[in-house]
Structure 1
Amino acid sequence: MRGNENVWTLAKGPLSRDPFRWFFMGRMLSLFGSAMTPIALAFAVLQSRHGPQLLGYILAAQLLPHTLFLLVGGSVADRYRRDRLIMLGNMGAGLSQAAIAAVVLTDSDPAWIILLAIVNGVLEAFTGPAMRGIVPELVDVPEIKNANALLNAVRGVARMVGPIAGGMFVSTIGGGWAIVIDASSFFLSAVFMSRVHLPSHVVSHHDPIAIVVRQGWDTFRHSEWIWPLTGAWSIMNALQMGTWQVLGPIYAKDTFGATGWGVALSMRALGVFLGSLFMWRLRISYPLRTAMMAAAIMGLPMMVLGQGLSLSYLLGSVLMAGFGASVSEVLWNTTLQQRMPSEVLSRIMAFDDLGAYMLIPVGEIVAIPCANRWGLHPVEMVAGVAFMMTALTPLCLRQIRRMTVSAES
C-alpha cells in the first residue's frame, strides 16, 4: 500500500508539471551520458603518447575556463531565459562531445581534445548557474525541495551506473562509442528543453555585464547567511579533494586495490541516492542547521583512511558520506531557491560555486607533499577532523542555526 502511496505522491509532485517533467527527462539523459565519459576519455587518452600528462592538461583546460566565465554565465542566466540558455548549452555540448568522439574513434591527435575541453568548460560556466536557478521557475515554492531531491536521486543513480557502462564500452567496442552516446544524450536533452517555455525576464539589458556581476556580488556579500557557508565549503572542498581524490587512490593501490576503490565510489553514489529519497519524504524545520550537520558526516571516510581500517569500514563510511552530501546539497539549493529573488538567483549560485571550489586546486597540490612530510594516515585523520569542525563552525551564527524554511513552503 505504501508503494502505491509513493507513486501517487510522485505523480502529484513536481513531475506532474509539464515544464519540470521535460527538464527532468532532459537532465536525466545528459547525466547518464556524462557519467560514462570520464572513464572512457581517460582510457582513450592514457593509451596515447604522454597520456598521463595530456590527461592532466585536458582536465585543466576544462576547469580553468569554467572558473573564469562562471560569474559571466550567472549574470547571463539572470538576464535571459534560462530554458533557452540550457537548450543552447546542451546543443553546444553535444557538438563538442561528438567532436571528441570523432578524435577518439579515428585515432587522431588527442591534443585536439584540449581545445574541445575549453569549449566544454565555457559551456558549463553558462549552463551550470542556469540549471541551479531554473527550478523555482518550473515548480511552485512548496515543491522545490522535492524537485531538488528528484534531480539529486537521478545524479546518484547516474554515478552508480555510468562508470560501469563506460568501463564496459572501453573493454568491448571502445570508449569512443560511450562518448558518442554522451553527445547524443546532450542533443536529446536539448530537444526536451525545447518543450520548456518560460516567460522572458523583464530586466534591463543596457547595463554592462560588469555592472550586472557587481550587483550580484553586492547581494551575495550582504546576505550574511550565504557567504559564511560558501566560505566553509571552500575549506571543506579543499580538504576533501586533496585527501579523498588525490590520496585516496594512493592508499587504495597499496591496500584493497582499484576494485575496492571502485566499489567505494559506487557506495557513495548509493548514499547520494538514498539521501535524496530521504529528503523526498521528510520535512525539515531548520534547513541550514540540518544541511551542515549532514555535511559533517562527509568527514568520516577521511578518518577511516586515517585509522587504516578495513574496506568494510570504508564502505560504510562512504555510504553515510554520500547520504550526508545529498541531504546537504538538497537543503542548500532549496534554501537559496526559496529565499533569493529569481532575477539575481543565478548570480548568487555562480558566486557560491566560485567560492566553494576556488581552493580545490590548493588542496590537490599540497596533499601529496603533506603526506610525504607527515605521513598519509595522520594527514587523512587531521583532514577528517578539520572537515567536520569546519562544517559545524557556521552553526555558531544564530541566523544560520535558527533559519527556518520559507514561509511559502
Structure 2
Amino acid sequence: MRDDAPAAPVPVLAVPGFRRLLAGRTLSFLATALVPTALTLAVIKETGSAGDLGIVLAAELVPQLLLLPVGGVLADRYPAQRVAFLADLVRGVAQFVIGVELLLGTARITDLAVLSAVTGAAIAFGTPTMSPLVTAVVPESARLRANGHLGVARGIALVAGPGVAGVLVVTTGPGWAFVLTALLFAVAAVTLGGLRTAPRAARDDPGTFFRDLADGWQEVSSRPWFWTNLLAHGVSNLAAGVLMTLGPLIAVERLGGEVAWVVVYQAGMAGMVAGAFLAPRLRARRPLIITSVCGALFALPLITFSVPMTTWINAVAYGIAMFGLGILNTLWQTTMQRHIPEHALARTDSYDALLSFAARPLGLAVAAPVAAVTGMAAPLLSAAGLVVAANLAVIALPDARAIRGRSKADVPSS
C-alpha cells in the first residue's frame, strides 16, 4: 500500500458527536414542524378569526426577517453550539407559556402574538448555526453524507409534523400540544448542550458587530456563484409561495377536493426525503450545475397545475420537483461548507435564509390577487418561467462551473 494513499473515510454515523447532533437537530426539526399547525388550530379554536391568525403568524415571521443577519453575526462570533442551544431553549419556553395559557383558558391574541415574535427571533438566531455546527463536528470528507442525513431528518419532520400536531390538538387539546412541543425543544437543547465540537480558531481582530455584518455581506457579494444562487433560491421560493396559494384552490375546485391536494403535497414531501437520501450517492463533481438543474425542476408542478392535469400527474410533478429540492439543499449546504471560510459561514448562510424566508410570503401574498385578474394559469406559468430562467442562468457563469464538489475521500458510506 502506498504511504500517500488516502485513508478510508470514517462512516459519518461513527464520527464522534454526529449522532448527538443528528438527534438534537431531528428533535428541533420536529418541534418546529409542529408549531404552525398547532398554532393555527389553537387560534381558530380560541377566536375563529382569520385576522387574528394573520396577526399571530406575521408576528413570528417579521422578527425572522429582521434578525436573521444578526443571528448570522452571533453564530460567527460565538460558538454556534451555544447560540443554537439558547435558541432552542427560548423557543421551548415560549411554547410552554403558550401551552400553559391555553390550558388555563387565559390565552389572548396579544399574548400569542408576543410569544410568536419571541419564537421568530429565536428561529432567526438558530437558523444560521446549522452549517457551523456541521463543520465543527464532521470532517470535510463526511459532510456531504452528514448533510444528507440531516436533510432526510428535516424532510421526515416536515411530513410528520402537521399530522402529529393535528392528532395532538384533537386528542389532547392545543394546550398539551404546545407543552409537548416545548418538551421536544428542551430535549433538543439539552442534547446539543452535551455536544463536543472542535475548538474555534482565535480571531486576530474581533471587530465590531456592524463591521462583522458588513464583512458578511462582502463574503456574499464577492462570490458571483454564491449570490446568483441566492437569487435563484429566492425566485424558487417565490414560485413555491404561488403554488402553495393556488395549488390547493385548484385541487379543491377542479381536482375533486382537499384529498387531491393532500396526495400532491405528501408526494412532494416523500420526494424531498428521497432526494436528500440520494444526494450523498451522486458523483457531484460540479455541484452547482446539478443544483441549478434541480432548482429548475420546480417549474414542473407549476406547469401541470396551470392546465390543470389529473391529481396523479400533479403529484408526480410535485414529487419530482421536491426530489430535486432534496438534492439541491444537500449539495448546496455541502458546497457552502467547503468553499466559504468557516469564520463567515453563519453570516453567509443567514443571507440565504433571509432571501428564502422573504420570497415565499411574497409569493403567497401576490398569487391570489394576480390570479383574480388574469386567471390561475398566468401566475403559475410566469412563476415557472422565472424558476427555469433564474436557476439555469447560474450554469452560464464560469465562476459557478468552476466550483468543484466531492474530493476523492467523499464516498457513499453511512
Partner in structure 1 of residue 172 of structure 2: 173
- Superposition pairs for residues 244-259 of structure 1, below 5 Å? 244-255=243-254, 256-259=256-259
Structure 1 length-normalised TM: 0.92
2:102 to 99, 104, 127: 104
Q: Secondary structure at the match of 1:143?
A: helix
Partner in structure 2 of residue 210 of structure 1: 210
Partner in structure 2 of residue 113 of structure 1: 112
> Structure 1 residue 157 and structure 2 residue 156: aligned?
yes
1:204 Cα offset (Å):
5.5
Q: Which amino acid aligns with 2:322?
A: G
Matched-pair contact (CA < 8 Å) for 1:294–1:325: yes
1:50 Cα offset (Å):
5.4
1:357 Cα offset (Å):
3.6
- Superposition pairs for residues 383-394 of structure 1, below 5 Å? 383-394=383-394
- Superposition pairs for residues 35-74 of structure 1, below 5 Å? 35-49=33-47, 51-74=49-72
1:70 Cα offset (Å):
0.9
- Superposition pairs for residues 271-290 of structure 1, below 5 Å? 271-290=271-290
Deviations 1:271-294 (A, max 9, x none): 111111111322311100001101
Instruction: Tell me the distance in 2 between the aligned counterparts of 1:373 and 1:148.
Output: 43
Partner in structure 2 of residue 3 of structure 1: none
> Structure 1 residue 294 and structure 2 residue 290: aligned?
no
Matched-pair contact (CA < 8 Å) for 1:79–1:201: no
Root mean square deviation, CA, Å: 1.9
1:137 Cα offset (Å):
1.2
Partner in structure 1 of residue 404 of structure 2: 404
> Structure 1 residue 139 and structure 2 residue 138: aligned?
yes
Distance 1:333 1:206, change over 3 A: closer
Distance 1:359 1:344, change over 3 A: same
- Superposition pairs for residues 69-84 of structure 1, below 5 Å? 69-84=67-82
Structure 2 length-normalised TM: 0.91
Matched-pair contact (CA < 8 Å) for 2:285–2:404: yes
Instruction: Tell me the distance in 1 between the aligned counterparts of 2:210 and 2:389.
Output: 36
1:304 Cα offset (Å):
0.9
Unaligned runs of 5+ in 2: 1-7
Matched-pair contact (CA < 8 Å) for 1:303–1:385: no
Matched-pair contact (CA < 8 Å) for 1:89–1:127: yes
Deviations 1:61-89 (A, max 9, x none): 11111111111110111111111111111
Instruction: Tell me the distance in 2 between the aligned counterparts of 1:132 and 1:180.
Output: 29
After TM superposition, the structure 1 stretch with the greater mean CA deviation from structure 2, 262-271 or 42-51, is: 42-51
Partner in structure 2 of residue 341 of structure 1: 341
1:200 Cα offset (Å):
4.4
Deviations 1:76-122 (A, max 9, x none): 11111111111111111110111121222233223311001111111
1:140 Cα offset (Å):
0.7
Instruction: Tell me the distance in 1 between the aligned counterparts of 2:248 and 2:283.
Output: 37
Instruction: Tell me the distance in 2 between the aligned counterparts of 1:218 and 1:29.
Output: 34
Instruction: Tell me the distance in 2 between the aligned counterparts of 1:239 and 1:147.
Output: 29
> Structure 1 residue 316 and structure 2 residue 316: aligned?
yes
Q: Which amino acid aligns with 2:141?
A: P
1:27 to 25, 28, 32: 25
**Where does structure 1 differ by over 6 angstroms across 4 or more consecutive aligned residues?**
none
Matched-pair contact (CA < 8 Å) for 1:104–1:110: no
After TM superposition, the structure 1 stretch with the greater mean CA deviation from structure 2, 198-207 or 159-168, is: 198-207
Partner in structure 2 of residue 365 of structure 1: 365
Distance 1:216 1:274, change over 3 A: same
Q: Secondary structure at the match of 2:17?
A: helix
Partner in structure 1 of residue 3 of structure 2: none
Q: Secondary structure at the match of 1:202?
A: coil
Instruction: Tell me the distance in 2 between the aligned counterparts of 1:282 and 1:315.
Output: 24
Distance 1:204 1:65, change over 3 A: farther
Instruction: Tell me the distance in 1 between the aligned counterparts of 2:162 and 2:296.
Output: 27
Distance 1:274 1:133, change over 3 A: same
Partner in structure 2 of residue 219 of structure 1: 219
Distance 1:166 1:355, change over 3 A: closer
Partner in structure 2 of residue 331 of structure 1: 331
Unaligned runs of 5+ in 1: 1-8
Matched-pair contact (CA < 8 Å) for 2:137–2:196: no
Instruction: Tell me the distance in 2 between the aligned counterparts of 1:302 and 1:268.
Output: 13
**Sequence identity percentage:** 28
Instruction: Tell me the distance in 2 between the aligned counterparts of 1:259 and 1:18.
Output: 44
Q: State how many pairs are aligned.
A: 399
1:217 Cα offset (Å):
1.1
Q: Secondary structure at the match of 2:109?
A: coil
Deviations 1:259-278 (A, max 9, x none): 22222222111111111111
1:363 Cα offset (Å):
2.4
Partner in structure 2 of residue 128 of structure 1: 127
> Structure 1 residue 184 and structure 2 residue 195: aligned?
no
After TM superposition, the structure 1 stretch with the greater mean CA deviation from structure 2, 292-301 or 258-267, is: 258-267
Partner in structure 1 of residue 92 of structure 2: 94
Matched-pair contact (CA < 8 Å) for 1:103–1:110: no
Instruction: Tell me the distance in 2 between the aligned counterparts of 1:179 and 1:268.
Output: 27
Instruction: Tell me the distance in 2 between the aligned counterparts of 1:402 and 1:14.
Output: 27
Matched-pair contact (CA < 8 Å) for 2:56–2:109: no
Instruction: Tell me the distance in 2 between the aligned counterparts of 1:201 and 1:186.
Output: 29
Q: Secondary structure at the match of 1:225?
A: helix
Instruction: Tell me the distance in 1 between the aligned counterparts of 2:196 and 2:293.
Output: 38
1:201 Cα offset (Å):
4.8
Deviations 1:123-157 (A, max 9, x none): 11111101232211111111111100000101111
Deviations 1:284-320 (A, max 9, x none): 1110000110111112111111011111111111111
